[in-house]
Structure 1
Amino acid sequence: MFAPSFSNPATLGLPPLRVVADDARIDALMPPAADASLLLVGHAHYDHLLDVPRVLLKHAPQAKVYGSKTMGHILAAVTPRSRIVDAETDMARGLTPGRWFVSPHKRFRVMAIESEHASHIAGLKFLGGGYTHDLKALPDSIWGWKEGQTLAWLVDLLDTQGRPVYRLHYQDAVSTPPLGFPPLLPDAKRVDVTILCVGSWNQVPGYPDALLRLLRPRLAVLGHWEDFFGNDPQQPQALRLLDEQGIVAATRSHLPADGRVVMPVPFAEVPLPAAAPR
């Protein structure tokens, strides 16, 4: 599972002054996840991490959460350390692979990849920085939810012999190439599905063009395009000033001949393509 977000706090339709998870809304909207064992977080901004404590407590009781050191320091205020995994220390850097974390039943493995968070607008990025110590309480303002080290993720589905048969690449923040690119791996397995971030997509050069040329995915899923300042995820609106048609066109033009692109609304079920041949 990738970090879900339902609360969408706001102040008069603008970024919120105070952020608190809406437990009732999370409970009403969160899909079943009792069998989830891995919860992957790309960075620690509130719109990615605010709802995770409630999800871990109520909806995914078997899951451990994987992410940056800063993510762990924030969650430690309310989540047992035994359920928090530092993936930053062992992340892939450049062409060098990182550590594979394997699910308890050995049907999934995941690798964190060094990435970044693009500027929000006009070259300005907000809520940067990180923590070096565990917090005593969750932050109650947006400024307390510091970014930390941003991660991309490589996710493999494994056969009974532990070999990768399906590969996904995931980003919850736009990055400057080659940050966020998967490392060189000996299996040379092609990426079947990539999940890209739409928000701030035009704030860095070469996104998503360079990444798509490398991955050659059969399916590109465009996420994080919704306005999350108080909007209802069941009636989504696009982020303000977002060129959503531009990202669709840019993605489509850099896919391989057998690739396709979708930009699903929240809660949509997207059929995945057959596994790519080795």
Structure 2
Amino acid sequence: MRPESIAFRPDELLGSRDARIRVRWLGTAGFEITCDDHVLLIDPYLTRASLARTAFGRLTPDLDVLARHIGRADAIIVGHTHFDHALDVPVIAKKTGALVFGSRSAVKLCRAAGLPEERLRMVERAPSTEPIVAEVGPFRLRFVPSAHSRFALGRVPFPGEIDDCDAVPVRVDHFRCGAVFRVEIEAHGRTIVHVGSAELTEVAKAPREADLLLLCVAGWRSSRDLPERVARVLSPRAVLLSHWDDFFVPLDRPARALPAMAMEPLVERLARAARDARIGTLPLLGELGL
């Protein structure tokens, strides 16, 4: 299945061009959500370093790409701290003055980059306590502990924490996973849920219904019954698939699927489990209205 064969049209999902909430896909697991002149970024990774540089070189944000595609942000959410979720966060936060919400590792990363403490929000919680809730403009944010898919020979790639350091990490293996969150976002009666790794925990009470689920594809077959659990726990009205694209290809080229994404069986199982849900994709930097 080619991802473009199930692409949403810009006016197709839960809204129109004059919708109050706009959702733009930034590639990989990254999204920009705009509402009432407030901008929320989730896992914004636009640098898209080449495979060679990722494997053998030093990772640094592409400042030109970030300047072209990121104008402003009130808050940035870091679902976990692998490089393809967190590399660009400190630069974007410095440029925009945004608050950063994330794990202890996310806070360490931003602190090492020189962000002031008053702009950092650590949202890990003690075991058996309620998820942390925060408000940014019209957005109500709920940070639910989750997990990373074990797609690397049955293991989470680069587990553990980003250690305290004097310099920002520059190698892939230094961007340790840290704690993982799914994020539930409410605004104007709509609920958007971001699942940035293809795994789901069910211990915390979920929203009654997700108007839009932003679901990671990469590694989904390593997570037992993920399509069925997603449908049962989150009851999505619509599912926007993400993190299926080849993020080693620059942002100005059309998105293409990484090998072995198995999009067709995923869509078939989601469609069976969430019978009324619309399931689709967007082109890079494409957007939808709610």
**TM-score normalized by the length of structure 1:** 0.82
- Residue aligned with 2:226, SS: coil
Letter in 2 for 1:81: E
User: Do the aligned partners of 1:127 and 1:143 also contact (CA within 8 Å) in 2?
Assistant: yes
For the structure 1 residues 271 and 102, does the alpha-carbon distance in structure 2 shift closer, same or farther, using more than 3 Å as the test?
closer
Residue 126 of structure 1 deviates from its aligned partner by 1.8
Q: Partner of 2:90 in structure 1?
A: 53
Q: Map 1:261-276 to 2 at 5 A.
A: 261-272=279-290
For the structure 1 residues 125 and 99, does the alpha-carbon distance in structure 2 shift closer, same or farther, using more than 3 Å as the test?
closer
Q: Distance in 1 between matches of 2:54 and 2:170?
A: 16
For the structure 1 residues 18 and 81, does the alpha-carbon distance in structure 2 shift closer, same or farther, using more than 3 Å as the test?
same
Q: Distance in 2 between matches of 1:27 and 1:48?
A: 18
Q: Which protein has the bigger helix share?
A: 2
- Residue aligned with 1:249, SS: helix
User: Do the aligned partners of 1:191 and 1:215 also contact (CA within 8 Å) in 2?
Assistant: yes
Letter in 1 for 2:194: Y
Q: Partner of 2:79 in structure 1?
A: 42
Q: Partner of 1:25 in structure 2?
A: 65
Q: Distance in 2 between matches of 1:110 and 1:220?
A: 19
Q: Map 1:128-277 to 2 at 5 A.
A: 128-131=159-162, 133=164, 135-158=165-188, 165-175=189-199, 177=200, 179=201, 181=202, 183-184=204-205, 189-232=208-251, 234-257=253-276, 259-272=277-290
User: Do the aligned partners of 1:42 and 1:152 also contact (CA within 8 Å) in 2?
Assistant: yes
Q: Distance in 2 between matches of 1:230 and 1:27?
A: 18
Residue 190 of structure 1 deviates from its aligned partner by 2.4
- Residue aligned with 1:89, SS: coil
Q: Which protein has the bigger strand share?
A: 2
Q: Is residue 71 from structure 1 mapped to residue 71 from structure 2 by the alignment?
A: no
Letter in 2 for 1:57: K
Letter in 2 for 1:111: R
For the structure 1 residues 218 and 182, does the alpha-carbon distance in structure 2 shift closer, same or farther, using more than 3 Å as the test?
farther
What is the RMSD of the two structures over their aligned residues, measured on CA atoms? Answer: 2.2
Could you tell which deviates more after superposition, 75-84 or 116-125? 116-125
For residue 9 of structure 1, the aligned residue among 49, 53, 65 is 49
User: Do the aligned partners of 1:65 and 1:84 also contact (CA within 8 Å) in 2?
Assistant: yes
Letter in 2 for 1:201: W
Q: Partner of 1:109 in structure 2?
A: 140
Percent identical across equivalent pairs?
22
Structure 1 ranges of 4+ moved more than 6 A: none
- Residue aligned with 1:126, SS: coil
- Residue aligned with 2:255, SS: coil
Which structure has more relative contact order (CA 8 Å, sep 6+)? It is 2
Figure out how many residues of one structure are paired with residues of the other and give that number. 249
Q: Distance in 2 between matches of 1:182 and 1:195?
A: 20
User: Do the aligned partners of 2:124 and 2:132 also contact (CA within 8 Å) in 1?
Assistant: no
Letter in 1 for 2:260: L
Q: Distance in 2 between matches of 1:16 and 1:84?
A: 31
User: Do the aligned partners of 1:10 and 1:16 also contact (CA within 8 Å) in 2?
Assistant: no
Q: Partner of 1:122 in structure 2?
A: 153
Residue 233 of structure 1 deviates from its aligned partner by 5.2
Q: Distance in 1 between matches of 2:281 and 2:259?
A: 16
Residue 171 of structure 1 deviates from its aligned partner by 0.9
Residue 132 of structure 1 deviates from its aligned partner by 5.5
User: Do the aligned partners of 1:44 and 1:70 also contact (CA within 8 Å) in 2?
Assistant: yes
Residue 13 of structure 1 deviates from its aligned partner by 8.0
Residue 24 of structure 1 deviates from its aligned partner by 1.0
Residue 189 of structure 1 deviates from its aligned partner by 4.1
User: Do the aligned partners of 1:42 and 1:67 also contact (CA within 8 Å) in 2?
Assistant: yes
Letter in 1 for 2:205: L
Residue 98 of structure 1 deviates from its aligned partner by 1.6
User: Do the aligned partners of 1:112 and 1:153 also contact (CA within 8 Å) in 2?
Assistant: yes
Q: Distance in 2 between matches of 1:109 and 1:66?
A: 13
